[in-house]
Amino acid sequence: MTIARGGRLPNGLDAAMERLNTSVDVDGALWREDIRGSVAHARGLARAGVISESDARAITDGLDRVAGEIERGELVFRRDREDVHMNVEARLVELIGPVGGKLHTGRSRNDQVATDLRLYCRRLTEETLAALGRLADVLLARAEAEIDTLMPAYTHLQRAQPSRLSHHLMAWQELVWRDRGRLTDALTRLNECPLGSGAVAGSGFPLDRAGVAAELGFERPTRNSIDATGSRDFLIELASALALTGVHLSRIGEELVLWSSSEFGFVALSDGFSTSSSMMPQKKNPDVAELVRGRAARGMGALMSLLALEKGLAFGYGRDLQEDKRPIMDAFDCVLPCLDALAGALATCRFDAERMKAALERGHLCATDLADLLALKGVPFREAHHVVGALVREAESRGVELLALPEETFAAAHPALATPERAGALDAALAVERRSVLGGPAKKTVLAAVADARVRWKNAASLR
């Protein structure tokens, strides 16, 4: 079977080549951007005097009709028309006649698809930024609500020092804040308009590139036609930011998996974000967190695909770039659903404050505070570290916590420990409050961090 063509290649396209050549199954998702870009291009042609105002109105009215048909599901894209661009243009000509063929004046599919991609990525990036904001709102609200919930801080997944849940939630928030910054930064560089770059060397028509760029909401036209049509580093940068966002969400998911286990028991996810086992009736699985971890792997793969796709390309458009759409679409699909699902899970979960507090009672978590007490009394910290380490070893040999060692054991370890201040040093709640330095877990410090974060997120949202 062959597909009929015309023009430079009058012979039919082999069916095997047609299957390889057709991209509408993927780039059909760009139809909104394709029509929006085409409307702006038609108006720009009229402003430049390349087509008449009446022709431009006929084209834009026709494109509105095409958009309506697609929106209502009345227009089904045809594979023999290769891509979304040819499907839209062919339907336009069917609706308004030969004047529809004037739309492609001064334009190539090369600058057309580059524009569509930038518009699409800008729209999805804005949606992602909004979703990051929603997750941040949940984290800040829970941090405020759980301000009196104490828990261990961990290093090497071992109980390390006393802290508070709100401080931990704010650590997650800081990751999300930086993810927002990377996406915003990438958005700045992608927000240039390729229309008018033609196939590779611009256009001989006096196009209003600046006007078209402004109409489409771009900051400026692209500065070089070869670069505009043949480079996709804006996709790689976005995919990188999205992949890292996925990694951060995966880390949060990993902690939710751990914390919801019987071994930790720190959190219980709501039924709406959990599943049961098909075999074991007692099970309640933290699938939302596990699915978030899994999506992160896909997002990393999307980034690798785009890096590999561009690394061997000479300048100027190559058909390899037809494969640039699926990875970036997948990259967004790996992050957007996870952001909203994780926000919902965290908004509806129940933290077990008593279980977290109980975890502070094992593991000698105030050992550092005891060493700090010695340091405050003039003992070199290295010596203090050694003294307290020996006390921890003694406590473990007796099967007790540091606090339970007898008075004479402390006095024998170092005279400076024979003091009433020792009890305060070994009190977990007091240990948390002593850490009031910027970035620490003391209550007033964490509340100040929450307030600061609220201002940052509010200001950032107002700039978009």
pLDDT 10s digits, 83-140: 999 999 999 999 999 999 999 999 999 999 999 999 999 999 999 999 999 999 999 9
C-alpha to C-alpha distance for 150 and 352, rounded to whole angstroms = 10
C-alpha to C-alpha distance for 62 and 39, rounded to whole angstroms = 10
CB-facing half-sphere around the CA of 369: CA atoms within 13 A: 24
Q: In this predicted model, what pLDDT tens digit does every residue of 314-343 receive, in sequence order?
A: 999 988 898 899 999 999 999 999 999 999
Q: Which domains does the chain have, with CATH numbers?
A: 6-105 (1.10.275.10), 110-143+163-352 (1.20.200.10), 367-463 (1.10.40.30)
Mean pLDDT of the chain: 93
Q: Is 234 a residue whose pLDDT tops 90?
A: yes
Q: Is 348 a residue whose pLDDT tops 60?
A: yes
Catalytic residues, by residue number, are: 156, 277
Confidence of residue 148 (pLDDT cuts 50, 70, 90): very high
Contact predicate 441/164, CB 8 Å: yes
Q: Is 18 a residue whose pLDDT tops 80?
A: no
Residue 158 main-chain phi, psi, to 5 deg:
-115, 145
Contact predicate 121/236, CB 8 Å: no
Query: What does each C-alpha distance from 286 to 137, 275, 328 come to in angstroms?
Result: 22, 7, 28
Confidence of residue 200 (pLDDT cuts 50, 70, 90): very high
CA angle 330, 334, 338 (to 5 degrees): 155
Q: Of 305, 303, 275, give the one whose Cα is nearest residue 290.
A: 275
- pTM of structure: 0.92
**H-helix segments, 204-286:** 209-215, 225-230, 233-259
Task: Please enumerate in sequence order all residues whose Cβ is within 8 A of that of 262, keeping only pairs 6 or more positions apart, or say none.
Answer: none
Q: In this predicted model, what pLDDT tens digit does every residue of 24-64 receive, in sequence order?
A: 888 889 999 999 999 999 999 999 999 999 999 999 999 99
> In the prediction, which pLDDT does 3 show?
41
DSSP E strand stretches across 113-197: 150-155, 158-164, 192-193
> In the prediction, which pLDDT does 8 show?
57
Q: In this predicted model, what pLDDT tens digit does every residue of 238-258 receive, in sequence order?
A: 999 999 999 999 999 999 999
10-24, 281-295, 392-406, 433-447: least confidently modelled range: 10-24
> In the prediction, which pLDDT does 6 show?
53
C-alpha to C-alpha distance for 143 and 151, rounded to whole angstroms = 13
**Count of C-beta atoms within a 10 Å radius of residue 361:** 12
Provide the residue type at 51 as one letter.
I
Confidence of residue 463 (pLDDT cuts 50, 70, 90): confident
- Express as a percent the part of the chain with pLDDT over 90: 87
Handedness of CA 86, 88, 89, 92 (dihedral sign): positive
Q: In this predicted model, what pLDDT tens digit does every residue of 352-388 receive, in sequence order?
A: 999 999 999 999 999 999 999 999 999 999 999 999 9
Q: What is the average per-residue pLDDT within 407-428? A: 93
Query: What does each C-alpha distance from 279 to 202, 269, 276, 287, 291 come to in angstroms?
Result: 63, 20, 9, 16, 20
Contact predicate 434/443, CB 8 Å: no
In the block, tokens 């071992």 appear at: 158
Pairing state between β 350-351 and 267-268: antiparallel
Q: Is 424 a residue whose pLDDT tops 90?
A: yes
